[in-house]
Structure 1
Amino acid sequence: MVRFWEYLLIAGLIAVLLVVSHWIGQQAYAWMPLEATAEAQKVDDLFSFLVSIGAFIILGLVAMMVYSILFFRAPKYDYSEGHPSRGDLKLEILWTAIPTLLVLWIAFQGFNIYQQLDVLGLRQIVHLHTPLESQPAYAIATGEKPKPAAETIEVFVKQWDWSFRYPNNVTSNELHLPVNLRTRLNMHAKDVLHSFYVPEFRLQQYIVPGRDIDLVVTPTRTGKYKLKDALFSGTYFALMDANVQVESLEQYNQWLTTAEQEPTTIKNQAVAEYTQPPKTLFKSGWYTVAPNQTAIAQNAVP
């Protein structure tokens, strides 16, 4: 009878652990930036699941230690050795099979996400392509016909700024995207390796010099975001950011018309950092690349 109540208590503790772990996993969504693309949901779902598993493991270990202290304490002044444990085949199979299946499932989910985030232009290195029903961001092998996109924007990055060329030949230092529409970003690095990274998009893609990196993304939330260069590309690389504006199609078309008619300029942060007076008594004398000021929006030469 006592054994029955012990098993019942263990089952109750496991049920409580599952509920608490699931709750902690749901809280993990708030630890990430807001989801702004269709693929961000898949990434966050996987992250939430990993948090739930981690919470279940750590809470389970603590609960097991507390359970052992309560029910298997040695009597006072008892310093004898415990009974030697022998291997249990069923237990060995259990704690080997469960982690193996769990790791394989996580690997499959990660592989599935990367298939959708893979990029045209890198297939010479890795080939990861199987048909998927829905691919907001996806890769296609060289020679395959790309899926249709509502808009194509050329992305150029160099030391020390980003620039974007739109279908009406307007070039800007801001990335404007229409919401809920597939937009193709054809990315080019003019000098060294760079990395396209928008935290809310859950996208981070290397841009390789000499290769056209083609990525299709579907923004789902309007707002203003920040594009970063997530790869060390030299002095001032931390200042290589750009505004990303996701807006309605009407606002997007209106901005294109305004940018075409009224070119403007902005202050380049790398230029400001380079030209400001030194804050120390002595200059290091280290060699650096002098950044150039660029325009934010202007008519591009076809």
Structure 2
Amino acid sequence: MRHFIIVGILVIVAASLTYMGLDALNLMPVAASAQAGPIDWMWNWQVIAMSFLFALIVVPLLYSLAAFRRKKGDTADAEHIVGNTKLEIAWTIAPLFIVMVFAYMGAYSLAETRRVDPQAMIVNVTASQWAWSFEYPDYGFVSTDLRLPENKQILLRMQSKDVIHSFWVPEFRVKQDIVPGRVTELRITPTLDGAYKVRCAEICGTSHAYMESPALVLSQGDFMAWATEQQGIAAAAQTPEGKGALLVKSSGCLGCHSIDGSKLVGPTWLGLFGSQVPLSDGTTVTADEAYLAESILNPSAKIVAGFETQAMPAFATLTEEEIANILAYLKTLK
């Protein structure tokens, strides 16, 4: 009995120290949504269980190596134990009970993260290689930034233009795959003002690592001020070049092409129209309307030198008017 008491005390001490050590590491980023609460609660109980099981295995093992090692000169056989029915029943029932408890806790946490607010604000999310766009149907504009009001549930309705992507903001905790041909939904209630990042958590191609967009949680007042400003910009953008600017934003083009000369996944658009473009086959071509339209509809027809490994998706569904609007916008980037 003395050994059981000692081992029991050591298990409790080791489990407590293990848990405190793991907790001190701050393994989780800051919690910035209401959904983070039940997830972090579940994670904390899992860490407690892992710490206890670690101690329950390691402590008796190390204690047995020290307390029951063969003494010098001892040649006798140890006691032969055939089995212990009560112990075998206990270690069958106890883990089953623990698993059932954690299953209930997991179901409860999942239900809490999916709790529906009928007054939720809708944001339509479009994922494409390798950019995000966010449409605010209640306000009538599209943005490449995800800006959300604090303490207001957001219903994200998400779809993909090409391959499987996955919406993930670590501080919100929840993550959702976006499958082509489907509209998937995710609910988030931001609770902490700050600047975060939307990341793609599903490998989606050569530039997967760069598929990021800013995610900002604003106060209600700051969000309304921003939304009003964006509404004004959208209302003023009724010219062909204005419509083209909105179209390239909503199509995710700016995730690969810069408009300020900086290098991204694809060639910059600054000063592109009318310039001489070197191609991968050693020739050059003038970036006129015909070339640019062809590059939109059939990007692999003429590949720009230095970008041979970047596969741009074809935008064959664009209408002639939409392509004309994009070309009008490109002409303004001088």
TM-score (norm 2): 0.68
Which of 35, 38, 51 is the equivalent residue of 2:34? 38
Residues 250 and 64 of structure 1: CA distance in aligned 2, closer, same or farther (over 3 Å): same
Aligned length: 259
Q: With CA pairs under 8 Å and 6+ residues apart, which has the higher RCO, 1 or 2? A: 1
In 2, Cα distance between the equivalents of 1:190 and 1:196? Answer: 14
Among all aligned residue pairs of Structure 1 and Structure 2, give the percentage whose two residues are the same amino acid.
Answer: 30
- Preserved CA contact (<8 Å) 1:149 1:216: no
* Structure 1 residue 213, shift from structure 2 partner: 1.9
In 2, Cα distance between the equivalents of 1:149 and 1:216? Answer: 12
In 2, Cα distance between the equivalents of 1:238 and 1:74? Answer: 56
Letter in 1 for 2:213: A
Aligned match of 1:273? 265
Residues 259 and 285 of structure 1: CA distance in aligned 2, closer, same or farther (over 3 Å): closer
5+ residue gaps in structure 2? 235-244, 258-263, 269-277, 279-304, 316-325, 327-334
Aligned match of 1:23? 20
- Secondary structure (helix, strand or coil) at the match of 2:265 reads helix
Q: Is 1:288 matched up with 2:265?
A: no
Q: Is 1:230 matched up with 2:201?
A: yes
Q: Is 1:13 matched up with 2:36?
A: no
Could you list the per-position Cα deviations for residues 112-157 of structure 1 after superposition, in whole angstroms to 9, with x for gaps in the alignment? 333x3xxxxxxxxxxxxxxxxxx4534xxxxxxx741342111111
Aligned match of 2:179? 208
Aligned match of 1:130? none
- Preserved CA contact (<8 Å) 2:132 2:255: no
5+ residue gaps in structure 1? 117-134, 139-145, 296-302
- Preserved CA contact (<8 Å) 1:175 1:243: yes
* Structure 1 residue 221, shift from structure 2 partner: 1.1
Letter in 1 for 2:88: E
Moved >6 Å (runs of 4+): 263-267
- Preserved CA contact (<8 Å) 2:265 2:310: no
In 2, Cα distance between the equivalents of 1:51 and 1:159? Answer: 36
* Structure 1 residue 8, shift from structure 2 partner: 3.9
Q: Is 1:254 matched up with 2:225?
A: yes
Give the structure with higher Rg (CA). 2
- Preserved CA contact (<8 Å) 2:154 2:188: yes
TM-score (norm 1): 0.74
Aligned match of 1:162? 132
Which of 114, 119, 141 is the equivalent residue of 1:137? 114
- Preserved CA contact (<8 Å) 1:195 1:229: yes
- Preserved CA contact (<8 Å) 1:24 1:55: no
Task: Please provide the CA RMSD for this pair.
Answer: 3.1
Q: Is 1:177 matched up with 2:148?
A: yes
